[in-house]
Amino acid sequence: MKKILFVTAVVLLSLFVVSAHPTSESKASQTVIFTDSCGREVEIPAKITKVAPSGAVATMYFSALAPEYMCNVNSKPSEKQMAYLPEVLATLPATGSLYGSKSTVNYEELISTGAQILVDVGDYKSSIKEDLDALQAQIGIPCIFISGDLANMAAAFRTLGGLLDGKAERGEALASFAEKTLSMAEENRAKITDSEKVTVLYTTGADGFGTNAKGSTQAQVLETVGAENAIVLEKVSNKGGGNVINAEQLYKADPDMIVFSSGSIYDSVESDSIWKNLWAVRVGNCYEVPALPYNWLSEPPSINMLVGIWWLGKLVYPQYYTYNLEEVVKEYYSLFWSYNLTDAELETMLSRAL
């Protein structure tokens, strides 16, 4: 009888030890090896519900895909932006951005968020592998990169939806809209003849001399819809403000159309001594880019570019982009921001854009 009791005790103790200290096999089932867009193999949790976006672009992706899974934002949205965005964003800590001229990552606060993984989404950078390896070692959280420019936007949503627990269907819905948008633009762009090409100047800054030149990430939408970027430079800046040009370059470009970013010289161009002599200003072919909750063309160049393609295509080549813009904009806001635009809101939003 004592022998039986002793054996039973040993068995029970063994079971306790196994449950308290998972075997290598059970540990392995809790993580998976993920190969990110720059070829890094990273061990990440198999079930992810807490994610830290690395910056502005990633913040926008996750705000649309899974705001309830976010542990931080790059910066606090303004009150005007929050009118359209998920409420949870207003409560999250702002931990800065990993890249850009405003790189101000607060590592301690980032670690304290409890994120299971940090995700950088955007354009490929030559230093991305080394940067993420160093960051991962510093904060002790798996860090991965996902290509998220226009060409890779649909794939990015599918990848991110697959990474996050229970978000594959949501990722597919957003990816499908991205694919629909790019296919529409490609089809219409192919119809534009050389004689129909419209040159467009996309300005930034209070004086309008900040420009997003041809080939910049900030000007992707112009080229996507088939517009000719009026500013062609040897050294192109991909920063939010773009390249700064002078009056001589502005007159040389003399574009067919000008689109101004919010907060620019748009309201006074007709009386300004420099701007009023441009052809686009004289004929009234000037517009302001809608900017809520984000600029539709860039600042930053992220998922906001999708609605920008529908808007700018319709504006520049209405003979080919023949859909009902108002319906598409409402669809976008409903799908990406879970916000139902009213007719009055939409009218205000487009009042300076059409």
Same fold flag, 23-166 and 190-350: yes
Mean model confidence pLDDT for the chain: 90
Q: Report the pLDDT averaged over residues 311-317.
A: 98
Q: Report the pLDDT averaged over residues 22-45.
A: 78
Residue 37 has pLDDT above 90, yes or no: yes
Q: Which pLDDT belongs to residue 11? A: 37
Residue 13 has pLDDT above 60, yes or no: no
Residue 21 has pLDDT above 70, yes or no: no
Q: How confident is the model at residue 98 (pLDDT cuts 50, 70, 90)?
A: confident
Longest dimension (CA), the chain: 106
23-166 fold: Rossmann fold (3.40.50)
Q: Which pLDDT belongs to residue 222? A: 97
Q: Report the pLDDT averaged over residues 112-124.
A: 94
List the chain domain ranges. Answer: 23-166, 190-350
DSSP-based three-state secondary structure for 52: strand
Residue 302 has pLDDT above 50, yes or no: yes
Residue 162 has pLDDT above 60, yes or no: yes
Q: Which pLDDT belongs to residue 102? A: 53
Distance from the first to the final alpha carbon of the chain: 91
Q: Which pLDDT belongs to residue 25? A: 37
Q: How confident is the model at residue 50 (pLDDT cuts 50, 70, 90)?
A: very high
The continuous run of DSSP H or E covering 184 comes out as helix 168-189
ω into residue 45 within 30 of 0, thus cis? no
Residue 80 has pLDDT above 50, yes or no: yes
Residue 131 has pLDDT above 60, yes or no: yes
Q: Which pLDDT belongs to residue 205? A: 87
* Selected residue with higher pLDDT from 127 and 337: 337
Can you tell me which residue has the tokens 């001589």? 248
Q: Which pLDDT belongs to residue 240? A: 75
* Closest of 101, 102, 133, 103 to residue 118, by C-alpha: 133
Structure tokens at 237: 């800046």
Convert the pLDDT of each residue in 236-249 to its tens digit.
988 878 899 999 99
CA dist 85 and 337 (Å) reads 6
DSSP string for 92-135: SPB--BSSSTTB---HHHHHHTT-SEEEEEES--TTHHHHHHHH
Residue 14 has pLDDT above 80, yes or no: no
Residue 8 has pLDDT above 60, yes or no: no
Residue 1 has pLDDT above 80, yes or no: no
Structure tokens at 1: 């009888």
DSSP string for 317-346: -TTT--S-HHHHHHHHHHHHH-----HHHH
Q: Which pLDDT belongs to residue 104? A: 73
190-350 fold: Rossmann fold (3.40.50)
Residue 341 has pLDDT above 50, yes or no: yes
Residue 5 has pLDDT above 80, yes or no: no
CA dist 78 and 62 (Å) reads 18
Instruction: Indicate the range of 8-12, 94-98, 297-301 predicted with least confidence.
Output: 8-12
Taking residue 49's Cβ as centre, other Cβ atoms within 10 Å add up to 14
* Residue 90 backbone dihedrals phi, psi, to 5 degrees: -70, -20
Residue 24 has pLDDT above 50, yes or no: no
